Amino acid sequence: MTVAASSSIEPPAPDPLSETAGAWVEALALSDLADKGRALVKREGRQIALFMTPKGVRAIANRCPHEGYPLSEGTLSDGGDDRACTLTCNWHNWKFDLESGVEIGGGDAVRVFPVEIRRGVVWVDLADPPASERVAKALAGLRAGFRDRRDDRIARDLARLEAAGADPRVGVRAAIQWTHDRFQWGMTHAHAALADWLALAEERHDPVDRLACFTEIVGHLVEDSLREDLYSYPEGTDVWDEDAFVAAVEAEDERRAVRLARGGLAAGGWAAIDRGLCRAALAHYQDFGHSAIYVEKTREAVERLDAVKDPEGTGGSVAEPLMLLLVRALVSARREDLIPEFKAYRPARDAWTGLGRTPLKPADLCRVSIAGALERVSAGSADQVRCYDALMAAAAWQLLHADPVFATRAEQSVSQNVGRLDFSHAITFANAGRRIMRRYPDLAPDVLLQIACFLGRNSGYVDPAYPAERWRVSDSRGFVTQAAAAVIDHGQPEFIVSAHLVKMTCAVREEIAAAPQASWVPELASALNRFLNEPFKRKLTRRNAYQARETVKGE
């Protein structure tokens, strides 16, 4: 290698002992570096790779950010007079500009360090840049990584935020703001699981667990928005009117609904629009319960994220971006009570009096039709607490006795494709519904009757003889506590699966905490055990082929 003249690599420098700025450390003699062209030094817990280049000595962090291989073993190419030198990691061909540390292919950058030559000795400045600069760089790296979802890169940039003194939830907030206009139909399970991952992160003392939760959130947002088109929201603001908002959602008028919700949010915060959102979500037996779950979990997510201190001013409230996603989801949600299967729902709701005094028992609900479940809940409507307990007990029993044949069998109609998620939604919906009923008792009939719809629909897919004993747990609360800790390291490659795992675990945990003496607690904990631990077949290749052929036959 041709070495630059000493005048270009050894500028005059003050005596190191008189230095006050930076955190300069002595690396090695320049002559030793010149002999080998490169060197690896370890200082203050860091590994630093030094290279002699035609433009002088350059220093970078030794570990490739991709998978941690040593860059000191990489290949150095001469960039020429007008270009920086490039260092290639020989393991996976990542290429770094030695001047800036930028990865030329758009991957994660590597840190570079200032270098000075003082009296024939190489000195390296290990001082960290100002916190605001590091936070900005970490956020820029996080956003750049949205071109291609890599959980390891997301985790590194969130960890860099934390190392710079910022709360990693600042990165979560930024991710919501960057992606909220990339969802054609509004919210996905990425948003539904958001509040639960935040709750788990906030209660964990282990920083690794916390980072895992935040990485899950951002990774799912990236997965669901990656390479999606821009779906802009309507502009403008109208004065909040709850009835007008509910009517706009009913009419699928996104423009009017967004303008009203934006006006309410601006005037009174989330509390001003909360009841209208709940009403709109419960106006129908809607979107297999997702609408009510989305409303409740969005409210919680806004509370948790907007409480995060942001001294660097790196992002504003997530209330409006999440509100826009939620309103779009409500407007586009399917209204399942309009299909024949659930035709009994609207008459039952319209006939609700709250005066029914027939005591409701769980056994009344486990194996009845939709119409039968609606009728029995209406008959016991005077005691809403007892109604809810019976509904929850029946939902737990159904999940614990779900017939696994329907989840895996190939030769069946599409309408029979029922698995554990169909059963779990009755429980996660009930959890969201209980919260809503607590704030708005007048919406209790909607919640209770819609849980009944779940039970009636699922009743045809249970097996009373299923050997449920294998899933029984002896310590319900202890099991649920352990499950909440274990779900962080879920091991599932699909975000849609991990989202359901965390949603179900947190819903069951909250329900048991709210009613620890309820008769259904052991059954519910056991149902969660089955949900989390029974083998889960996600890809049903033969079923897909069979049902495709059956469809084509009828064309």
pLDDT tens for residues 203-236?
A: 999 999 999 999 999 999 999 999 899 999 999 9
Instruction: Report the chain's terminal Cα–Cα distance, integer Å.
Output: 72
Residue 239 CA to residue 259 CA, distance in Å, equals 8
pLDDT tens for each residue of 459-472 = 999 999 999 999 99
Q: Is the pLDDT of residue 389 over 70?
A: yes
Token pair in block for residue 448: 């209770």
Runs of H (alpha helix) within 333-443 = 345-350, 370-379, 384-400, 405-408, 420-439
Amino acid (one-letter) located at 310: D
In 3D space, the residue among 267, 395, 294, 283 whose CA is nearest the CA of residue 336 turns out to be 283
pLDDT tens for each residue of 498-546 = 999 999 999 999 999 999 999 999 999 999 999 999 988 889 999 999 9
Q: What is the pLDDT of residue 162?
A: 95
Q: What is the pLDDT of residue 20?
A: 38
The mean per-residue pLDDT over the stretch 465-488 comes to 97
Where residue 55 falls among pLDDT bands split at 50, 70, 90?
confident
Q: What is the pLDDT of residue 311?
A: 56
The SS3 of residue 102 is coil
DSSP β-ladder status, 46-53 and 95-97: unpaired
Those residues whose C-beta lies under 8 Å from the C-beta of residue 391, and which sit 6 or more positions away, are 365, 377, 430, 448, 451, 452, 455
- Ramachandran region of residue 106, left (φ > 0), alpha (ψ -120 to 50) or beta? left
In 3D space, the residue among 210, 179, 184 whose CA is nearest the CA of residue 197 turns out to be 210
Mean pLDDT of the chain: 92
Architecture of the domain defined by 6-125? 3-layer Sandwich (2.102)
Q: What is the pLDDT of residue 145?
A: 86
Residue 458 CA to residue 422 CA, distance in Å, equals 7
Domain residue ranges in the chain: 6-125, 132-332, 340-549
Q: Is the pLDDT of residue 313 over 70?
A: no
Those residues whose C-beta lies under 8 Å from the C-beta of residue 70, and which sit 6 or more positions away, are 40, 47, 49, 62, 63, 64
Token pair in block for residue 530: 């089955």
Contact at 8 Å (CB) between 422 and 460? no
The 10 Å CB-count burial string (b at 16+, else e) for 128-155 is eeeeeebbbbbbebbebbbeebebebbb
Q: What is the pLDDT of residue 362?
A: 96
Q: What is the pLDDT of residue 314?
A: 55
Q: What is the pLDDT of residue 10?
A: 39
pTM over 0.75: yes
